[in-house]
A and B are shown apart, each in its own frame.
Chain A
């Protein structure tokens, strides 16, 4: 269930990397902003009942608003910070990404204040909080997250493989120059990539906020790194890879929690290293080494 969150965020990383070969460090923070947008939407549109709960349609609404907001932010970042650096050395773009990430985090601490905020919950009776199947307990919240993630993923697959813009995205990620020679407007496609990736991150933000019941400006940091690892594990540049990677990371993290809690982080990164050493392209990725 953690896996689906990672998958959603990982998608954004993988897509951006696919088209730009850029590791967008600010992605984790877009996720955070998405969560806050959802929070403010719920507050200002008075969508909550007295105890701070939402009805399913209200949840859908703030999800959409958050996605739109995050998409707008992603678009803005790409336009202002990354586009001018298309021709610059990759490390430069990376540093800029880090700068944007820091800006969002520290700016967030000023704008949203540092105090964690309570997040609206889905309206549910206490009893039906969870589904119990043969002694195994699954929260409805997690199921919803899984469903939303699956829906978004499938939508993405359809877009990428069945529509023209999707085809264009694949072309650009394969070879940017050739794609533009073919008449594809690379700028638009790249912007589109950012928009979609950020929208997904925004959705993840709202879902996580709901699940952990509180959000704070630095939540994007660790989640971002782990989702990034997930993207790599699954094969960076591959969309089903991001999904698979997310799942793998989520499951392993939860498994390790149960057995050996203090080694969780070490194991998470250990998996990363293992994958990089044994199968650098990730589980589903394309070729990793250049051939002459």
Chain B
């Protein structure tokens, strides 16, 4: 028995049909922005977008499901290597395949990158499965420790693989990330998160967050849902990692360690656990903040940490608590991304 909410899903078909015109519009916008904006601003804009993808994806696990995952950067790293592996090592093979399929040369680079992104998502999803299956059996804090451990382990393992650059990382990655991809990524992750929240799966996740034992008692397969959320989040993180790698033209494993995971967790908590809007705003704010603090750069990091502490002390629930900003349903502010009142449900 499906639960229909007043707010509507955006049907998948509508999405698919609008892809091409949207892509063209985005492409034009992207080219304009790249030309008009200074490289620096454009770059920070891109970094914000990537941060949004990472934060919103983590929000699905930490916010919706109430789990305690602090190793998210590991999945970004997997995605980065997976995508870079394709664009750096497999490019000639890919080109041959695309040529054989008579794909015009102008479309090949973005298509190639698209393939790389899919690889990133898949690779990260597999990693998510490998990490999630053992870890999600654990309760709160133990889960945190496990995810932390896995995140570091992933990094430590990649550092030993010389074929992808070992300790100094993979370089000469093509600059494939552009406005179109990042924008698409951001929109998709937000829509996916939102749709997830409104679906029955989302209900299950929220139930798990509120009281896992009770959810189990009413028959929700909590383990399955937790793993599902985890894998989805990991896949998105992989995409974020791939975008980052192709923005920096390289993968430096040192940058995807515990500190990176912490940065993402901070964004999610700051925005308010469970609030997609909050995650988005916090991601953007925390990407811009260090840049804005450059004039006082001697104390930049100290100020950053002090601000963090203050914000947590003053607003422990995060900026948005659990509120959402809802666009699709006629511009009204909703209280909580929660089930509708009983009695309105069908049958």
Please tell me whether chains A and B touch each other in their complex, using a CB distance cut-off of 8 A: yes
**Chain A interface (Cβ < 8 Å from any Cβ of B):** 17, 21, 23, 81, 84-85, 88-96, 98-100, 102-103, 106-107, 110, 225, 228-229, 232, 236, 262-263, 265-266, 269-270, 272-273, 276-277, 280, 288-290, 292
Compute the total of residue contacts between A and B using a CB distance below 8 Å. Answer: 130
- Name the contact of B266 in the complex, choosing from A23, A98, A262 (C-beta under 8 A): A98
Which residues of chain A are near B312, meaning CB under 8 Å?
A: 85, 88, 92-93, 95-96, 99
A113: min CB distance to chain B, Å:
12
19 of the cross-chain contacts (CB-CB < 8 Å) are A21-B141, A91-B68, A92-B269, A93-B312, A94-B70, A96-B313, A99-B306, A99-B312, A100-B309, A103-B302, A225-B152, A225-B258, A236-B141, A265-B159, A266-B153, A269-B149, A270-B153, A276-B149, A280-B139
**Chain B interface (Cβ < 8 Å from any Cβ of A):** 62, 68, 70, 134-135, 137-142, 144-146, 148-150, 152-153, 156-157, 159-160, 213, 217, 258, 262, 265-266, 269-270, 273, 298-299, 301-302, 304-306, 308-309, 312-313, 316-318
Taking a contact as CB atoms under 8 Å apart, the answer to whether A96 and B308 are in contact is yes
CA gap between A290 and B137 in the complex, in Å = 12
Taking a contact as CB atoms under 8 Å apart, the answer to whether B150 and A269 are in contact is yes
- Name the contact of A103 in the complex, choosing from B153, B298, B309 (C-beta under 8 A): B309
B345: min CB distance to chain A, Å:
27
Which residues of chain B are near A92, meaning CB under 8 Å?
A: 269, 312, 316-318
B220: min CB distance to chain A, Å:
15
Taking a contact as CB atoms under 8 Å apart, the answer to whether A96 and B309 are in contact is yes
Q: Looking across the interface, which residue of chain A has its beta carbon closest to that of B166?
A: A262
Which residues of chain A are near B70, meaning CB under 8 Å?
A: 94
Q: Looking across the interface, which residue of chain B has its beta carbon closest to that of A104?
A: B305
CA gap between A83 and B182 in the complex, in Å = 41
Taking a contact as CB atoms under 8 Å apart, the answer to whether A90 and B140 are in contact is yes
Which residues of chain B are near A232, meaning CB under 8 Å?
A: 142, 145
Taking a contact as CB atoms under 8 Å apart, the answer to whether B316 and A273 are in contact is no
Taking a contact as CB atoms under 8 Å apart, the answer to whether B149 and A91 are in contact is no
Known: A81-B313, A103-B309. A17 touches B302 (CB 8 A): no
